Amino acid sequence: MAAQLDATARRAAFDGATPDAAASELRALADGRVDILMRAAGHMAGVWSVKARYDGGVALIAAGFLVRAMGTETDDLNLAHWVDEGRFAARRTVRDAAALASFQRAQRRSSGR
């Protein structure tokens, strides 16, 4: 369900949906699972904060749609936790990609290519 929420929020942001329309669609998709909305929103915002240059802001708008879908009666303290998780995941992928590129360069040099 988290992947479906992520994709739906990104599509709504990319298509220029209104915040109310996007939140309504996401709320219906989540079927009352505010915890999943919170996790998806936080993770998306955290990843965006590390890799902002890659999507032109679509992820940040999509995260806002997810937060709006959560509603105002929720405890947003856990949202910060999921933002941190998203940042951690993004940094790990950036670090892993850099390590792989370095390894491949070393392999090419050692094989004479």
Question: pLDDT, tens digit, for every residue of 50-61?
Answer: 887 777 789 999
Q: Could you tell me the residue range of the domain that residue 86 belongs to? A: 2-111
pLDDT bracket for residue 105 (50, 70, 90): confident
In total, how many domains does the chain have?
A: 1
Q: What is the pLDDT of residues 7-45, one digit of tens each?
A: 999 999 999 999 999 999 999 999 989 999 999 999 999
Amino acid 84: pLDDT: 93
Least confident of 11-15, 72-76, 88-92, 107-111: 72-76
Q: How many CB atoms lie within 10 A of CB 68?
A: 19
Higher pLDDT, 1 or 76: 1
Among 92, 106, 99, residue whose Cα is nearest residue 50: 92
- What HEC string does the chain produce? CHHHHHHHHHHHHHHCCCHHHHHHHHHHHHCCCHHHHHHHHHHHHHHHHHCHHHCCCHHHHHHHHHHHHHCCCCCCHHHHHHHHHHHHHHHHHHHHHHHHHHHHHHHHHHHCC
Each residue's pLDDT tens digit, 78-103: 888 999 999 999 888 878 888 888 88
